Amino acid sequence: MNISASFILYLTTFIMGGCGIAYEYTLSRVAADLLGNSARQWALVIGAMMFCMGIGADLQKRLADKLLIDKFIAAEILLGILGGIGPLALLFTYGLAPEYYIIVQYLFICGIGLLLGFELPLITRLNSVYTRKLKVNLGKVLKMDYIGALAGALLWVFLLPKFFTLIESALILGLLNLSAAAILLFYFRNGVTLKARLWLFFLAALMVLGISFHKARNWTASAEQYLYRDRIIFSKTTRYQHIVITESRSHEICCYINGSLQFNSADEHIYHENLVHPAFTLVPDPRRVLILGGGDGLAAREVLKYRSVKEIVLCDLDPEMTNLARTDPILTRLNHNSLSSAKIKILRHNALIETKAKEKILVVNQHKRFGSRPEFAAEVSIINLDAAALLENLAGKFDIIIIDFPDPNNEELAKLYSRTFYRRLTDRLAIDGVFVQQATSPFHAREAFLCIGRTIKSAGLSAIPYHDNVPSFGEWGWWLGGHAERWSPADLRKELKKVTEIKVKTRYLSPELIHAGLDFGKDQLISSESEINTLVNRKIFTYYLMGWQSGY
């Protein structure tokens, strides 16, 4: 009897430990997706929850031993409810009453943290009846809690995302907590005083979580729709990010990643033509092009206009994004099927390095809207890998490197704007080649924009800025450059000023606009700051937040 009772309590501890760590991860992910700055959100959410666990552990000492098992079961049921419905409640709050979001978020965090901290000492107290020695009791209870935490982490990272959305995963965790409560209610049925009330509470909680799980996808779609002005036509949380595509009544398509606008079909051609074509005016007949980021295929669309290009390597971290760009009819219409050929092979991790010399991948790209120009062939590889890791391992040189990363709006992205990154880029750039870097707004985030330029130059590259107005984003900027021994800033500027034609058809960009983009307003490129961005200081993230937050 004693052994069996201890086993039940250890099993409950294991389940609680697994669900507890998974709740921390889930609430951190929700906060990061909604508020951005994922590293900060994860640190704050987990830190606050751990603090509340400490408070809960201290509060339980005030509970008398009477009805101890009843109190523990009730806490387990309540934990299942809060942990299960929390993410969905936060999503609705952010859409309907964003001014109260932080309050509601931390109410859930504190509630779950208090219950988790409350329960572990209670289990130890309950188990003391069956395991008399304190050191043995504590050791076994804590061991099962920590083993459960590892199991919960593995479950959250590897298993749940394969079959369920983030909201559904939270509800499953809540149901797991309820299962622990049911096991306790059944096994200790003779020792539970408030048996009928607890079973009623359990059944009510089971009904709430069960209905929520059944309706989760519809409710999630309804809640998420409040976050966007236009109708959501696609929404998916991948391993790396949350992707949303919307369509307006006038059929404008917008793509958002983690809530940040990536492009609007009404004016994305302004951004992508500026991103691609100035660089191509400086390199006669480029053959090899590397695109870092740009998983939507829109930059590749512009590159494929050039008949001299024989090879494109596109590196985007998220395979879900590149697969969407290859298969979704809306995106393939926008990117002119730049990534959709069945002959494109997606190469993951180091596969490109291993197979490149052995295998050529031919892509026949048909651009009907370019009139009578004949079809042309290019070798295209799509690599789903971190861009910094790719530059470190990729062989060969490229005539043009196009860097189309999201803005450095979190600490993870900041590393892609670091001196180390640009030094690696230098090794992949041909001596006569050029690169272009999208560089956020020189108006709203001037210090971040200028920090990018300083960091590029600190890596031994030469670069000049240019800008244009993209209606969906406002004033936007880029840095263009090459090896310092080949290109000086004066040379780059002189050559761009000499441009009299763009060799391919464009919807917006003209030589005159390229010339105009080189000129900035008085003192717009003057900064009181002098720091560059490194892997350690991630200064650009600080500048970025200062710029955009002060703009609202």
State what percent of residues in the chain have pLDDT above 90. 78
CA distances from 264 to 134, 248, 328, 331, 436 (A): 63, 10, 16, 11, 21
Strand partners, 313: 290, 381
Q: Which helix (H) or strand (E) holds 5?
A: helix 2-35
Residues 6+ apart with CB under 8 A from 523: none
Do 370 and 518 lie in a common domain? yes
- Domain boundaries, position 139: 2-225
What integer is the mean pLDDT of 392-409?
A: 93
123 in the same domain as 21: yes
Q: How confident is the model at residue 341 (pLDDT cuts 50, 70, 90)?
A: low
User: Could you read off the pLDDT of 130-142 as tens digits, one per residue?
Assistant: 888 888 999 999 9
Domain co-membership, 220 together with 307: no
Does 177 share its domain with 275?
A: no
Q: What is the pTM of this model?
A: 0.84
Question: Is position 240 within any domain?
Answer: no
The rounded mean pLDDT for the chain is 90
CATH of the domain at 91: 1.20.1250.20
Percent of the residues in the chain that have a pLDDT greater than 70, as a whole number: 92
Q: How many domains, in total, are found in the chain?
A: 2
Q: Which two tokens stand for residue 82?
A: 């809060």
pLDDT at 352 over 60: no
* Confidence band, pLDDT 50/70/90 cuts, at residue 354: very low
Judged against a pLDDT cut of 80, whether residue 370 lies above it is answered with no
We report the CATH number of the domain holding residue 448 as 3.40.50.150
Catalytic residue set: 404
The reply to whether 231 falls in a domain is no
Compute the distance between CA of residue 465 and CA of residue 456 in angstroms, rounded to an integer: 11
- Calpha distance 145→137 (Å, rounded): 12
| 450-458 average pLDDT score | 97
Same domain (yes/no): 176, 266: no
What's the angle, vertex CA 260, arms to CA 450 and CA 338, rounded to 5?
90
Q: Are residues 198 and 336 in the same domain?
A: no
| C-alpha torsion 172→174→176→181, nearest 10 | -160
